[in-house]
């Protein structure tokens, strides 16, 4: 009798353990369809800085480092954080053992070296970094050594980003440009790609996962789903209807005004709060805005509250914030944000215009309707600038024309763009002297040089305040505020963490 | 007959030569840069210039035009900058959805327009005629993308009969793919039916008062035979013209419909090529669409000769 009781107890305990583990570990399987804003221009993440390219290809390719939930750099294909020499110029990066590519070939330092050399040649971020690299070598099969000509703190962030990305691919593939094979080490591999129809990714069976818990883009990358299909749905209204009908398990980039409509549908709205910041970049090189007094007059004239309300509607979808990074982010600082006024200061703008001896030259604002909020921001800005005494010329162009024209300083005075909050501030466009806007002053160089040379993360946070101060004093741009991004997700789809570049490892389907 | 056919063919060649030159010029004059699109928003001017050089876009325009013309004469429309495949291959891959969408939309348009047009003319001035004419006016004024969105809301979202967009997944069968075309074909066909209906009505009104129709009736022929066998056959010439032109219009009209419904056809290929400035693809698709338009016109002209042997060019 005792024996039976003991066996029964053991059986019950085993059953309860099985059921507990079944509850804690989601079941594998299932296919998800993810509606994206369009067809990516390329599947080579080194070539493009486009978010769409990074979002899709981060499932296929991996970088040496990535960002955790707090936007800090953590190892991914690297085995640990690098050893940094005392002078801050030499990085020794240990690589993980046992990582294989989708073709079954093991990853070694040879592949990493060839990939980083390709990145230096063909990636815009890589080319900028190459100017600072004096030696790139592989001392042994599992070590990479990078020697810089000066300390450069953004180095690790550059090795972590998923666009214009330093992804690792087999050495043989690195000679391809453009890429024709897409073999990486990521949790999902490319099975089939029919342009404008779908990009089909399937689980990579030989994936060598990191131990521990998922942490932002890093940590363990669980492969619950069998397949991820990225489907281009160019028309935003069709994406909204797709979310309402439940055709897709995830729908990216929806117009915020469709929030209430989506709430009544099969997929449920997901807000990424905050997602990014719209910006008016000023031409500091040529034309009317090259005069700092004019730029200061623009800064005084603009009224972010009305602009953001016109662009995003309800305050639920935006916040008025002059800081370059939102509250809660490690880079947040209020330095000089007193110059950001929610309703502008027309009198001060008029006074500055008088000081600048403004003669009524047209202020040419380059914008597009590719992103409807850009256009709405421009319309309200036009009204406020005209009230201050500016003569405004709104040049509405389609996006491809705008991206070409903004490279020519003779064609514009301000252009409108937006950006997500990048984990490393110095990667923001205007930090480069050659980026359209061409902000290049001694004040900027001094602040940025000190910020980029400092490798101590805590000291860098304090130094960032000086860069933000330089932005407010030189006015190379006007940050309008913070805005939220809207996506939709099926209630069946779990494990997706809202992120600027959504990822679907760790995601799973419930019954 | 042979002389007039040769005359038409020569005219077609001239039109195509003009189209090729114009398309090349317009595409290259329009602002926008495939290198800037490829590299993304944070690329520097130097990066863009380097990639343009690699793509051969910094060569003089006349040189690029010369190479393009030589290629076209050899049946080579170039290579897509973004898809990295020959343009002919890209077009071939997209031919299926566009061909069947056009065919189905034409079928929808004709099936709606011909009976309604005939009945409308026969019952001229009646409530049926007035409703049909008003609906036709309304359809002609509705943009196909708007009707498409309405259809998506009603048939796909409310009734759940169709997917809102797409052309099926990797394992979709031919039947499933065709199912994805039903809704776009319905919206495209409904818009185009208005024109055919109005032409059918007008043409029928012309012939219904002719002497031979009165004679046929006097001979005691049934109304069905009088209207369908005698009157409609003679009213057919302008109707065939407009159906032919509609077919050509549908190929280009599919551009908007394919974009709204996410159909990976020639239309959406054209739109994405224009947005990315994929010059070879824009030139290739416009060349093919123009060629089809010209061919369709030629086919209609030839049909005239067959329908009415009295026609001379």
pLDDT tens for each residue of B91-148: 998 989 999 999 999 999 999 999 999 999 989 889 999 999 898 888 888 888 888 8
**pLDDT at residue B130 in the model:** 92
Computed over every residue of chain A, the mean pLDDT equals 91
Residue B311: predicted pLDDT: 65
Beta-carbon count within 10 A of A326 CB: 17
All residues of chain B having their beta carbon less than 8 Å from the beta carbon of residue A265 are 157
pLDDT for A292 equals 96
> Of A242 and B277, which is predicted with more confidence?
A242
> Phi then psi for A146, rounded to 5 degrees?
-120, 125
Check pLDDT > 60 for residue A13. Answer: no
Residue whose C-alpha is closest to residue B279's, from B106, B56, B108: B56
Angle at B64 between CA B59 and CA B68, to 5 degrees: 160
DSSP reduced 3-state for A351: helix
Q: Which of A218-232, A327-341, B49-63 has the lowest mean pLDDT?
A: B49-63
Residue B303 has pLDDT above 90, yes or no: no
| A296: closest CA of chain B, how far (Å) | 25
Please state, in angstroms and rounded to a whole number, the distance separating the CA atoms of residues B145 and B143. Answer: 6
Q: What is the pLDDT of residue B310?
A: 67
| Chain B residues 28-47 with a CB less than 8 Å from chain A | 30-33, 36-47
CB-CB under 8 Å, A231 with B40: no
Rounded CA-CA distance B236/B214 in Å is: 19
First-residue to last-residue Cα distance in chain A: 41
The answer on pLDDT for A22 being more than 70 is: no
Taking CA atoms, B37 is separated from A71, A315, A392, B276, in Å, by: 28, 33, 28, 6
Is B260 close to A434, i.e. CB distance below 8 A? no
Residues of B in contact with A50 (CB under 8 A): 40-41
B169 touches chain A (CB under 8 A): yes
Is the CB of A286 inside 8 Å of chain B's CB atoms? no
Phi, psi (deg, nearest 5) at residue A84: -110, 130
Tell me what percent of the residues of chain A surpass a pLDDT of 90: 76
CB B166 to CB A197 under 8 A?
A: yes
Measured CA to CA, the distance from residue B151 to residue B140 in angstroms comes to 16
Q: Is pLDDT at A3 greater than 70 in this prediction?
A: no
A231 to B84: CB separation less than 8 angstroms, yes or no:
no
Q: Which tokens go with A190?
A: 């490319």
Alpha carbons A113 and A80: distance in angstroms, whole number: 17
Q: How far apart are CA A263 and CA A488, in angstroms?
A: 9
User: How many other CB atoms are found less than 10 A from the CB of residue A3?
Assistant: 7
Supply the pLDDT for residue B11. 84
As a whole number, mean pLDDT of residues A45-72 equals: 93
Which pair of structure tokens corresponds to residue B144?
């196909």
Tokens 């953004």: give the residue: A154
Contacts of B258 (CB under 8 A, 6+ apart): B97, B98, B101, B184, B264, B265, B266, B267, B268, B271
Q: Report pLDDT digits (tens) over B208-244.
A: 888 888 888 888 888 888 888 888 888 887 888 888 8
User: How many Å apart are CA A43 and CA B9, to the nearest integer?
Assistant: 44
Nearest CB among A39, A427, A434 relative to B44 is that of A434
Question: How close is the nearest chain B Cα to the Cα of A314, in Å?
Answer: 25
Q: Does residue B271 sit at the A interface (CB-CB below 8 Å)?
A: yes
> pLDDT at position A23, please?
53
Query: Is A434–B46 a contact, with Cβ atoms under 8 angstroms apart?
Result: yes
For residue A187, the 8-state DSSP code is: S
Kindly state the DSSP code that residue A142 receives in the 8-state scheme: T
User: Alpha-carbon torsion A15, A16, A19, A25, what sign?
Assistant: negative
What pLDDT score does A6 carry?
A: 53
Average pLDDT over residues A300-326: 94
* Residue A70 pLDDT: 86
pLDDT at residue A316 greater than cutoff 50: yes
At residue B295, the pLDDT reads: 85
Phi, psi of A31 (to 5 degrees): -120, 135
Q: Is A403 on the interface with B (CB under 8 A)?
A: yes
- Residue range B160-197, pLDDT digits in tens: 999 999 998 888 999 999 999 999 999 989 888 888 99
What is the CA A459 to chain-centroid distance, rounded? 24
Tokens representing B298 are 């030629």
B149 interfacial to chain A (CB closer than 8 Å): yes
- What is the distance between the terminal CA atoms of chain B, rounded to a whole angstrom? 8
Of A124, A191, A196, the CB nearest to B39: A124
Question: Which of B221, B171, B169 minimizes the C-alpha distance to A197?
Answer: B169
Scan for tokens 């002078």, then name that residue: A87
Q: Is the pLDDT of residue A73 over 60?
A: yes
CA A415 to chain CA centroid, nearest Å:
20
> How would you classify the pairing of strands A218-219 and A214-215?
antiparallel
pLDDT of res. B30 = 77
Q: Does B163 touch chain A (CB under 8 A)?
A: yes
Element spanning A151, H or E: none
pLDDT, one tens digit per residue, over A462-495 is 999 999 999 999 999 999 999 999 999 999 999 9
User: What's the mean pLDDT in A26-38?
Assistant: 93
Q: Please report residues of A whose CB lies closer than 8 A to that of B269.
A: 196
B251 alpha-carbon distance from chain centroid: 2
Strands A493-494 and A482-489: unpaired
Cα–Cα distance for residue pair A218/A66, rounded to 1 Å: 6
- Determine the pLDDT at residue A49: 84
Which residue from A249, A197, A36, A201 is spatially nearest to B172, judged by alpha carbons?
A197
Strands (E), A397-498: 414-420, 477-479, 482-489, 493-494
Average pLDDT of the segment spanning A92-96: 97
Find the mean pLDDT for residues A105-128. Answer: 94
Confidence of residue A506 (pLDDT cuts 50, 70, 90): very high
ipTM, two decimals, is 0.77
Q: Which residues contact A500 (CB under 8 A, 6 or more apart)?
A: A51, A272, A275, A276, A420, A421, A485
What pLDDT score does A5 carry? 47
Q: Which residues pair with A198 in a beta bridge?
A: A194
Reading the block at residue B206, the tokens are 């012309």
3-state SS assignment for residue B78: coil
**Residues B7-65: tens digit of each pLDDT:** 888 888 888 889 888 888 888 887 777 777 777 666 677 777 777 777 777 788 888 88
Q: Binning pLDDT at 50, 70 and 90, where does residue A108 land?
A: very high
- Nearest CB to B37: which of A41, A194, A429? A41
In contact, A329 and A360? CB cutoff 8 Å = no
Q: Is A417 in the B-facing interface, judged by CB distances under 8 Å?
A: yes
Mean pLDDT of B285-290: 87
B157 shares contact with chain A (CB less than 8 Å): yes
Query: For the ranges A79-83, A413-417, B220-224, which has the lowest average pLDDT?
Result: B220-224
Query: Which residues in chain B are contacts of A235 at CB distance < 8 A?
Result: 165, 259-260, 262
Distances (CA, A) of A14 to A5, A19, A27: 14, 9, 19
Give the pLDDT band (50/70/90) at residue A9: very low
**What is the average per-residue pLDDT within B245-252?**
77
CB contact at 8 A, A200 and A229: yes
Give B-chain residues touching A238 at CB under 8 angstroms: 149, 152, 164-165, 260-262
């Amino acid at each position: 009798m005792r024996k039976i009781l003991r066996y029964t107890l053991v059986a019950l305990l085993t059953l309860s353990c099985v059921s507990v583990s079944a509850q804690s570990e989601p079941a594998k399987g299932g296919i998800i369809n993810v509606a994206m804003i369009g067809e990516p221009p390329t599947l080579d993440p080194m070539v493009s800085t486009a978010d769409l390219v990074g979002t899709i290809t981060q499932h296929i390719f991996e970088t040496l480092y990535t960002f955790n939930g707090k936007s800090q750099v953590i190892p991914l294909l690297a085995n640990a954080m690098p050893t940094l020499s005392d002078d801050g110029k030499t990085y020794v990066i240990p690589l993980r053992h046992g990582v294989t590519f989708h073709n079954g070939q093991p990853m070694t330092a040879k592949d990493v070296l060839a990939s980083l050399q390709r990145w230096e040649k063909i990636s815009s971020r890589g080319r900028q970094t190459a100017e600072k690299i004096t030696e790139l070598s592989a001392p042994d099969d599992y070590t990479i050594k990078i020697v810089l000509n000066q300390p450069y703190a953004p180095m690790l962030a550059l090795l972590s980003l998923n666009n214009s990305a330093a992804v690792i691919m087999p050495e043989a593939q690195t000679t391809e440009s453009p890429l024709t094979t897409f073999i990486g080490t990521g949790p999902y591999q490319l099975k089939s790609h029919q342009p404008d129809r779908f990009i089909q990714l399937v689980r990579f069976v030989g994936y060598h996962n990191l131990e521990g818990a998922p942490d932002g883009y890093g940590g363990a990358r669980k492969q619950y789903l069998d397949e991820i299909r990225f489907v281009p749905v160019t028309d935003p209204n069709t994406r909204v209807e797709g979310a309402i009908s439940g055709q897709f398990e995830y729908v990216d980039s929806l117009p915020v005004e469709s929030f209430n409509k989506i709430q009544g549908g099969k997929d449920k709205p997901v807000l990424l709060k905050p997602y990014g910041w719209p910006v008016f970049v000023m031409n500091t090189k040529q034309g009317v805005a090259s005069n700092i007094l004019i730029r200061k007059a623009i800064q005084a004239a603009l009224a972010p509250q009305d602009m953001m309300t016109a662009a995003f509607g309800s305050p639920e979808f935006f916040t008025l914030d002059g800081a370059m990074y939102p509250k809660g982010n490690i880079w947040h600082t209020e330095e000089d944000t007193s110059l950001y006024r929610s309703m502008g200061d027309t009198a001060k703008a008029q006074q500055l215009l008088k000081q600048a001896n403004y003669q009524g030259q047209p202020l040419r604002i380059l914008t597009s309707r590719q992103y409807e909020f850009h256009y709405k921001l421009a319309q309200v800005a036009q009204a406020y600038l005209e009230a201050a005494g500016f003569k405004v010329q709104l040049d509405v162009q389609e996006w491809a024309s705008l991206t070409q024209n903004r490279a020519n300083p003779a064609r514009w005075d301000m252009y409108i763009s937006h950006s997500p909050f990048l984990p490393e501030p110095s990667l923001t466009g205007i930090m480069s002297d050659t980026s359209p806007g061409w902000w290049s002053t001694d004040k900027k160089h001094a602040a940025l040089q000190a910020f980029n040379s400092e490798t101590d993360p805590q000291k860098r946070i304090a130094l960032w305040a000086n860069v933000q101060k330089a932005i407010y004093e030189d006015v190379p741009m006007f940050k309008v505020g913070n805005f939220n991004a809207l996506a939709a997700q099926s209630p069946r789809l779990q494990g997706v963490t809202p992120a600027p570049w959504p990822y679907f490892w760790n995601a799973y389907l419930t019954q | 007959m042979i002389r007039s056919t040769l005359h038409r063919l020569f005219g077609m060649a001239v039109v195509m030569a003009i189209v090729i030159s114009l398309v090349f010029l317009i595409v290259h004059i329009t602002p926008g840069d495939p290198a800037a699109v490829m590299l993304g928003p944070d690329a520097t001017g130097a990066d863009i210039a380097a990639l343009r050089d690699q793509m051969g876009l910094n060569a003089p325009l006349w040189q690029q035009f010369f190479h393009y013309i030589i290629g076209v004469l050899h049946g080579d429309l170039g290579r897509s900058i973004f898809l990295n495949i020959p343009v002919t291959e890209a077009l071939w891959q997209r031919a299926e959805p566009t061909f069947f969408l056009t065919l189905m939309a034409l079928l929808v348009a004709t099936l709606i327009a011909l009976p309604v047009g005939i009945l409308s003319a026969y019952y001229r001035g009646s409530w049926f005629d007035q409703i049909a004419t008003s609906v036709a006016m309304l359809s002609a004024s509705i943009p196909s993308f708007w009707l498409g969105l309405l259809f998506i809301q009603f048939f796909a979202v409310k009734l759940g009969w169709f997917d809102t967009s797409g052309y099926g997944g990797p394992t979709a069968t031919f039947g499933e793919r065709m199912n994805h075309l039903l809704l776009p074909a319905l919206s495209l066909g409904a818009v185009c039916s208005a024109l055919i209906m109005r032409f059918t009505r007008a043409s029928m009104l012309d012939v219904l008062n002719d002497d031979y129709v009165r004679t046929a009736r006097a001979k005691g022929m049934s109304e069905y035979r009088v209207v369908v066998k005698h009157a409609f056959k003679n009213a057919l010439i302008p109707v065939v013209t407009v159906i032919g032109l509609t077919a050509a219009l549908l190929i280009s009209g599919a551009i908007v419909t394919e974009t709204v419904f996410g159909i990976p056809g020639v239309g959406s290929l054209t739109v994405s090529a224009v947005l990315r400035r994929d010059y070879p693809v824009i030139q290739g698709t416009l060349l093919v669409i123009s060629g089809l338009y010209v061919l369709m016109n030629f086919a209609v002209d030839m049909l005239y000769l067959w329908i009415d042997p009295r026609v001379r060019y």
